[in-house]
Amino acid sequence: MKILKKLFNNSSLLQKLLLMFLTVTITPLIFITVFFYDRTEQRLLELTYENMYSSNQQISSNVNAHLDNLRQISSMIYTDETLQAYLTKTYTDDYSIFEAYRYIDGLLYSLLTANNNLASINLYVDNQSLPEDGLFLKHITLENLPMDYLNQLQQTYGNNIFSNVIQDKNEKNVIYLGRILNFNAQSQFYGMVTIGLSEELLYKLIEKEEQNKSVYLLNENNQIISASDKSLLNLSFSEAIGPELSTNQEVVAIDGHPNLLVYNTMPNGWKTVSLTPIDEIMRSSRQTAMQIVVIALFSLVLSIFMIFVIAKYLSRRLRKLNRQAAQVEQGNFSLLLTDSSKDEIGQLNAAFNKMSTRLKDLIDKLYVKELAKRDAELYALQSQINPHFLYNTLSGISSLAIQNEDLEVSKIVNHLARFYQTSLNMGHQYITLEKEIALTKHYLAIQHMRFDDSFMERWEVDDSLSTCETLKLVLQPFVENAINHAIYDDQQCLEITIRIYQTMHVDAPALCLEVEDDGCGMSSDKVEALLSSQSKAGYGIKNVHERIQLAYGQTYGVTIQSQAGLGTKISIMLPLQQHDGA
């Protein structure tokens, strides 16, 4: 027993789990159960699809036969030259009108009698000399023909067109085939014909096929033109039922329930759509599936019992490790008790011991020292001059200068005070672009008093970006750098161009701030050194670059383009976002 226990302890966790599953043969049982159930389900779906497809084909064939009959009748009327003559003739006496009525009514009565499945046949003419007969002949007016249907007919150039479902005067649902009547050699039309087909007749073709499924007849625009639920007529199929018609066989979800959708398309674009709930299809296979599930559950219970026994043994060792991890979380880095097992948990204990020791050393050497360093830096910052006090003092100096009529001193002190007021920003690091520009202009005003006409600035700013957000003091350091380092000829005025515009950066809208001068420039080696982590020169430039990357990520920051003797161009890239007003 001790040997077996030792072998078990030294085996891998994966081997223990495999042994447990092989003991109860749960894997083969689950595989067989899932495989045969899936095969049965797939075969039932295939048989149901074949049945639905065949049923749809039969419906489509029957519907198409009725539509072909309507097309033949419209062609007879379209090619009847005697009818054409009566409809286009100008009438001056009642006898001629009576002769026209007799021919027209006789023709259409005979067509209705021979085709008793038709709801109506109507002729529409623009010939005002031929009055309406109250039966078949009507004038083309908005009262007789809706404007949208009239426009559709006029655009067919003599071809057949089917309407949506329309309620006639008897409140029966009718679908009309419409056709323009025109002269064969001319595009000008002289009338129109509509032939009505009862929706009830179309539904009778569908009704006998609706067994455990729903069948819908759609027009070429995927609008329902026949169904058992008449409230769905003229609605888009995707709006009324749910799924879009993408493939002619697919499983779709309707009201959260899976359904098999099958549709056929007729030559004129109409579709026969059938929907069968998957639950109805699978009902016959569930009894066999339940028997298999009972056997599977019995085996599963047995396997769960064995898993419980083994898991209890493993979890006891894992709980010990978990308790030690909680101690480490609290800062207690004492070592774990020795675990003599050589499986994964034993190896994990040994690795955790090494990690705890290493972590403690790192904290002692780095973390504690870093905290002390940050505390010292914070203390040094707190010891510096309070900017609020400086701003209030500058305001006082400005007032005294005005009292002593020293306006130049008052002006420069005022600019300096406004500079500090904007840069403080109530402790917030983000300001609007408008404030950043104002801050830079205050700084430039001070420098103009100092350097007279040694430099001049030019602003190219997109005013629509004034409310965008930026870190404070990202523009001024580069303007200061240009004034202090770019001037190389006291006789030549330095020109500084400041551009602010919107651009695209890493496939997203961005805000670009540029500071360009025509000064002395610098070498490529010096440009690379300015932004390097080891550089002590250009501290303000590197500071702005690091602040931008900390705030917005590594894809944003400062780029420098410069050439000795030809000037320098600084580009500051920020994400384009509105200031939240905080």
Q: Mean pLDDT by 10-residue block, N- to C-terminus, for the chain (582 residues)?
A: 72 61 65 72 80 88 90 89 89 89 91 87 89 86 76 76 84 88 72 89 85 87 89 89 82 85 90 86 70 73 69 69 73 65 73 74 67 46 43 58 65 67 62 89 82 85 91 87 76 88 92 91 82 58 84 89 88 89 59
- Is 205 in contact with 63 (CB distance < 8 Å)? yes
Let me know how long the chain is.
Answer: 582
- β-bridge pairing 257-265 and 455-461: unpaired
User: With the C-alpha atoms ordered 81, 85, 86, 87, is the resulting torsion angle positive or negative?
Assistant: positive
Q: Output the six-digit token pair for 142.
A: 């908005």
pLDDT for residue 378: 40
- β-bridge pairing 249-254 and 173-182: unpaired
pLDDT for residue 405: 63
DSSP 263: E
């006090």: which residue's tokens? 389
Structural domains in the chain, CATH included, are: 45-281 (3.30.450.20), 302-377 (no CATH), 453-575 (3.30.565.10)
pLDDT for residue 24: 62
pLDDT for residue 324: 73
CA-to-CA dists, residue 408 to 194, 413, 415, 454, 577, angstroms:
93, 9, 11, 19, 39
pLDDT for residue 529: 78
| Helix 387-403 / helix 407-424 crossing angle, nearest 10 deg | 160
